[in-house]
Amino acid sequence: MAGAVVGALMLAATGCSSGSDAAETTVAPTAVATDPPATEPPDTATDPTVASTTAAPTTAAPTTTLDDEAATLAAVEQAYFDARSREHNPGWARQPVVEMVISSALDDSLAPPGQHVASLFCQHVNPAPDGGWDSHRETFADLAIATVNRHAPNFAASILGRRLLSPLDLEREYGLLGGDIFHGALGLDQLFSTRPLLGQADYRGAVPGLYLCGSGAHPGGGVTGLPGRNAAREILRDGLSRSRRNRARRHRPAGSPG
């Protein structure tokens, strides 16, 4: 499955209330104008990227589980089957799991004063829905926003602007085939010594001097920075080895065997 993001949302919000029981959802960056709510705002967590109107915490971006149906592993699995089977719609979860992040809660330079930027991220969408993503982009954005709005009723009305990045958009703009942010599925056949494939799991590519340091390398995606760190370590190690060999050649007595 691929991911879809409803991001760069500009909201004019007067404060959102949230439901008492929450399911798994996560919010990502979006621009939102909010009047501070009378009560302490809930944390926020969503699966697609959509804008949100929650107040900014002082330490971490708010995360809250928003969808009651997504509270169980069975529901998350059903979201995957919905998207894969296309049985109920052209190719996405009927009850999407939404991860929402409000980045402007930590960095107020991302939005004008009194507003916020929120993103909603959903993974349970088909990379190639019936009719193509150009035909369904806005429909899915409406569903993701409606999912959040069930728990924060003023959310949808607070949105000033929005942008959806479907799997097709992620491929067009960032070269992620099928919208795959992991550069290859994190399956049992592509983990540890087989990521990205046998013989190249030490970050050294098939071409000399080419090193692999993205999500397709061990330990995979998730914005940990670990593939890059590990690749840098191997680059330094190879550079040190070459430097030692070069020094050894320079100090070799004339006429000694190569």
Tokens of 104: 């402007």
Structure confidence at residue 252 (pLDDT): 64
pLDDT in tens, 145-155: 999 999 889 89
What pLDDT shows up at residue 40?
Answer: 41
Q: Per-residue pLDDT for 240 more than 90?
A: no
Residues 6+ apart with CB under 8 A from 102: 27, 28, 29, 30, 32, 44, 52, 54, 56, 61, 62, 116, 117, 118
Domain boundaries, the chain: 2-179, 188-250
Please report which confidence band the pLDDT of residue 206 belongs to, taking 50, 70 and 90 as the band edges. confident
Average pLDDT over residues 174-190: 86
For 63-117, write each residue's pLDDT tens digit. 444 445 445 888 888 988 999 999 899 999 999 989 899 999 999 999 999 899 9
What's the pLDDT band for 13 if we cut at 50, 70, 90? very low
pLDDT digits (tens, 9 = 90+) for 37-63: 334 444 433 333 333 333 344 445 444
20 vs 231: CA distance, rounded Å: 45
Q: How far apart are CA 39 and CA 95, in angstroms?
A: 28
Percent of the chain with pLDDT strictly greater than 90: 33
Identify the residue whose tokens are 């089957």. Answer: 81
Cα–Cα nearest to 120, from 216, 236, 28: 28
Query: For residues 209 and 5, which has the higher predicted lDDT (pLDDT)?
Result: 209
